[in-house]
Amino acid sequence: MHESIRARLTRFIAPGILIILAVAFILPVLFTLAGSFMSPGEVDARFRASGDAFGHPRGLSLIPQNVTLSQYYTLLIENMSYLGMFWNSVFYALAITLLSNIVAVPLAYVFAKIRFRGSGALFFLFLLTMMMPFQVTLLPVYIVLSRTGLLNTSWSLILPSVFAPLGVFLLRQFIRGVPDELIEAASLETGSVFRILTGVVVPAAKNGVIAMNILIFAGAWNMVEQPLVFIGDAVRYPLSAAMNDIMSTNLNVAFSGSALFLAPIIVLYLCFEEQIVEGLESFRW
């Protein structure tokens, strides 16, 4: 009897907790989207002033009083610097994501399927570098970039991120789930490791590869510390490095700026939701 009651409570409580968490995560996004269609006066009244002209307190609302695109016009037409930083972010995120595959796929395959002496210890050292905070490796990376003349260039953001261990670790766990028999059969037909990777391993771990690429893109899209340290010219800044200044100096376009900043990640998730979920479900520890 008690077990039946406990099972029923668990069946109702777990979904309830998930719904509460989902609402807590999605509400800030909804408020951002709603705020981006408000007029500057309404934004100021709702999110900065203590009340309206009659002293009545204003509350948060998902429905603008007058829907307007004035924020987007101000941000994209009157202020071209935002659009330039947006395309900087697109360039950095795409370059890092594409080049990371060139590094991550073969390394992950080696760690997952090729047995050699010391492979476990080498992979442990690889994980050790992944667990180090960014601040620990900041000075060595800065010195290397400075000595090679890459500081204050686009490569100062791209190269350190391309060789980050996260992509290799994730893809290695996905490739471990590819059957060895499939790879052995392919090796009988061709001795080219490149053809085995592109023709067998990557298609078999397709969902994992997509999930890895989305995570790498999101990480590159959201990077803040790297451009602030490695880039001295604000013209080269990605949008993520300038969002704080935009929100602190001009609240009237902060919502539209945040909405546009969120858009690529949301679109990618909606387009590849199934692959991301299946890829993460196939993740093997």
pTM of the model: 0.84
pLDDT digits (tens, 9 = 90+) for 114-165: 888 888 888 888 888 878 877 788 888 999 999 999 999 999 999 999 988 8
The mean per-residue pLDDT over the stretch 10-28 comes to 80
pLDDT above 80 (res 281): no
Q: What is the pLDDT of residue 217?
A: 95
Q: How far apart (Å, rounded) are the C-alpha atoms in residues 68 and 46? A: 15
Q: Is the pLDDT of residue 193 over 90?
A: no
Paired tokens of 224: 């803040």
Average pLDDT in the 62-67 region?
A: 80
Shortest CA distance to 99 belongs to which of 31, 158, 145, 148? 158
Does the pLDDT at position 198 exceed 70?
yes
Q: How high is the pLDDT of residue 9?
A: 58
The answer on pLDDT for 53 being more than 60 is no
Q: Which residues contact 77 (CB under 8 A, 6 or more apart)?
A: none
Q: Is the pLDDT of residue 52 over 60?
A: no
CB 71 within 8 A of CB 252: yes
**pLDDT, the chain, mean:** 83
Residue 1's pLDDT is 46
pLDDT at 90: 94
pLDDT at residue 99, as a whole number: 95
Q: Specify the pLDDT at position 54.
A: 44
pLDDT for the residue 157 = 93
pLDDT at 56: 47
Are 96 and 159 a contacting pair, CB within 8 Å?
A: no
What per-residue confidence (pLDDT) applies to 47?
67
pLDDT > 90 in the chain, percent: 23
Q: What is the pLDDT of residue 131?
A: 80
At residue 4, the pLDDT reads 63
Q: Which domains does the chain have, with CATH numbers?
A: 1-68 (no CATH), 80-281 (1.10.3720.10)
Q: Report percent pLDDT > 70 for the chain.
A: 86
- Residue by residue, DSSP assigns 137-171 as HHHHHHHHHHHTT-TTSTHHHHHHHHT-HHHHHHH
Average pLDDT on 81-107 reads 92
* Banded pLDDT at 98 (limits 50, 70, 90): very high
What pLDDT shows up at residue 62?
72
pLDDT interval class at 65 (50, 70, 90): confident
Q: Give residue 57's pLDDT.
A: 46
